[in-house]
Structure 1
Amino acid sequence: MIYENITTIKDFVILGFPGLHPTYYGPVSALLFFTYLVILAGNIFILVFVGFERCLYKPTYLIFCHLAMNDLLFGTVTLPKIISRYWWDNKIVSFSACFTQMYFVHSLGAINSLLLLIMALDRFIAICLPLKYPVLITNNTISVACGLSWIGTFVRMMAVVLHALTLPYCNSNIIVQCYCDHISITSLACGENVKYVKTVAVSLAMFSLLLPLSFIIFSYISIFVVVLRIPNVEGRYKTLSTCMPQLFISCLYYLPRCFVYLANATGFSFSLDFRIFLILLYSLLPCAVNPIIYCLKTKDIKDVLIKRLKNAKVGMKQVSK
């Protein structure tokens, strides 16, 4: 049932893709379910693999573990509901559940941005200030920095959600999105304070996005300047390869977001379905692809993986004999 022109909404309706024909509900839900399985398998593998390999107990891989946990939680917060929406036509979400989902969606997004900042700082000090790296970057300092990112963001986002809860909700209860987010929810609010609440939330979101991005850009520009000063090509390649996974991960997270924001700022419009698809893509693609980048582009993880696979093959051959 759709509630309109009332002051209290008990449930929201997750619309998903407005133009999607029911014929495609099954394939879409299957694709989303497969994406969720990939996110679960990849990120749990990273957490377990790094946890069991003592040679990977280093600051860089500790950051990877925090990113993997963030990606795992984000997929778990967003995907099950939209999967059930298309698999079983279960599109109703309670008022409190929708706000809870919004809280975690924005918290995890902001935490991801801060973790990428810490990752860029790790590479910046390692390449630009190598003599100070063992003193400044340790497992303890990274643990504290990542822990503060989680705790500080969760506390800050609680204020954003409580601010949104001060609004009366009396418009349509349809969430035109695949999950509950601040824009979708507050667009259904009424009253004179709606614009103010939205402005505050957008300002905080831009702060959470642009401040880390500014430092990340500065870090990698500084790294490239240092790399270009290395006299031999082999040295340049070896130094640059140590930060390529981090650069790939940062680009995967920021570039699609910046594209969408710039498109909005310049007045370039998308169809509603394509816009929702883009948001879903840049939200979930990094969660699924990051573990592959860790494994294929990080030398230590790749070497340990190859060693384990060779040992497993030798063991199987011995058993077969």
Structure 2
Amino acid sequence: MTYINITTIKDFIITGFPGLPSEYYGPVSVLFLLIFLAIVVGNAFILVVIICERTLHKPTYWIFFHLALTDLTFGIVTLPKIIARYWWNDMKSSFGACFTQMYFVHSLGAINSSILMIMALDRFVAIWLPFRYPVLITNKTVCIACSLCCVVTFIRMLGLVLHALTLPYCNLNVITQCYCDHISITQLGCGENVTYVKYVALINSLFSLLGPLAVIIFSYFAIIIATLKMSHTQSHHRVMSTCAPQIFITCLYYVPRCFVYIAHNLGFSLDTNARIIITMTYSLIPCIVNPLIYCFKTKNIKDALIQRFKNRKVSIAFQIDHKHNMK
């Protein structure tokens, strides 16, 4: 059959979880709303704390800052539409809006991966080259590295989206996912170039995921080796308590994501609802968990918050005492 490069559809229909009974729409929309609020409040809190607390103006915390900014943006890009789908039964997404969402979903995912790589390199230099750390890892170098990752990724993903736009979209427009992504959209394309577009996207995905993952694995493997060589138990514990949360975040981000990509490209068939749940898990759970880990597992952030809280209490007590003496 011969296809001409003409797109006939104007809107995509985002189904979310197919087959979900309508009586569960309310609870699901509330669940997504709570997740959205958790992502926005948690990550905005981290951003404000790092900006306002001068003691946290250090390379490691600027990395946390960029990661929180990425997580916050991802939640804003993905969740409002799926909340509207279950709250108001608003399933339609315009052709342009869907491709725009796809662009930001994959861009932010790749940026997140790059920032995790920078985080691992930061710890690697701190452990293996402690005397060179203040020279190699500075606020300026970290901000340049994170900004460069963002710029390069946004340019690279623009090519991915434009390549998907070369496909004609003729009849099918139902996306069985909670947001528009490359796999869901391109499988609706028609014509003989669909396989080629998917192949290019796969190479891009492997580059975005496996390249940083290789650096991360090498960095943390080297850190573990260095830790085992340490003679002092206290130093050993301090290094592992610093790196363990970051390793946990990395595993939470990569393991389910790699599973879905490998399963899809090997032809392993996942139940649709199971695939969507796994996708939403690796997309959203890290965005929620990251601020909790930073607040409760990062000593300097905890100390800064406790000190600010104590200063606030002292200031309030002083004001009350001053008013009392004035009477």
Q: Give TM-score, length-normalised by structure 1.
A: 0.94
Shift of 1:248: 2.2
Task: Provide the C-alpha distance between the structure 1 equivalents of 2:145 and 2:50, rounded to a whole number of angstroms.
Answer: 19
Deviation at 1:169, TM superposition (A): 0.4
Instruction: Give the deviation of 1:310 after TM superposition.
Output: 3.0
- 2:189 alignment partner in structure 1: 189
Query: 98-107 or 267-276: which moved more?
Result: 267-276
Residues 171-219 of structure 1: per-residue CA shift (max 9 Å, x gap): 3100110000001000110000000000000110011000100110000
Q: Deviations over 1:218-269 (max 9, x none)?
A: 0000000000001121110012222233222212211221333454567654
Counterparts of residues 1-321 of structure 1 (less than 5 Å): 7-264=7-264, 269-315=269-315
> Which amino acid in structure 2 is aligned with residue 187 of structure 1?
Q
Write the deviation string for residues 259-305 of structure 1: whole angstroms up to 9, x where unpaired: 33454567654321111011011100111110001111111001111
Does the aligned pair in 1 maintain the 2:8–2:171 contact within 8 Å?
Answer: no
Which structure is larger by alpha-carbon Rg, 1 or 2?
A: 2
In the TM superposition, what whole-angstrom CA distance separates every residue of 1:83-117 from its partner, at most 9, and x where no partner exists?
00000001100000000000000000000000001
Report deviation, 1:314: 4.4
AA at the equivalent of 1:37: L
Distance in 2 separating the partners of 1:244 and 1:59:
18
CA distance in 2, matches of 1:260, 1:160: 19
User: Partner amino acid for 1:260?
Assistant: V
Question: What number of residue pairs does the alignment pair up?
Answer: 316
- Give the CA deviation at 1:10: 0.4
Does the Cα contact within 8 Å between 1:160 and 1:201 map onto a contact in 2? yes
Is the 1:244–1:297 Cα contact (8 Å) retained in structure 2? no
Out of 124-133 and 232-241, give the one that drifted further.
232-241
Secondary structure at 1:19 match in 2: coil
Identity %: 62
Gap change, CA 1:248 and 1:88, over 3 Å in 2: same
Letter in 2 for 1:276: I
Letter in 1 for 2:75: G
Taking the aligned partners of 2:199 and 2:30, their CA distance within structure 1 comes to 37
**Aligned-partner Cα distance in 2 for 1:250–1:156:** 23
Query: Residues 270, 318 of structure 1: CA spacing in aligned structure 2 closer, same or farther, 3 A cutoff?
Result: farther
Find the residue that maps to 1:125 and give its secondary structure.
helix
Give the residue type in structure 1 aligned to 2:117.
L
Q: Give, in angstroms, the shift of residue 67 of structure 1.
A: 0.4
Structure 1 pair 31/268, CA: closer, same or farther in 2 (3 Å)?
A: same
Partner of 2:3: none
For each residue in 1:39-58, what CA deviation from the matched residue of structure 2 results, as whole angstroms up to 9, or x when unmatched?
A: 00001101111000000000
Query: Please, what is the CA RMSD of the aligned residues?
Result: 1.6
Question: Residues of 2 paired with 1:265 and 1:236: CA distance?
Answer: 41
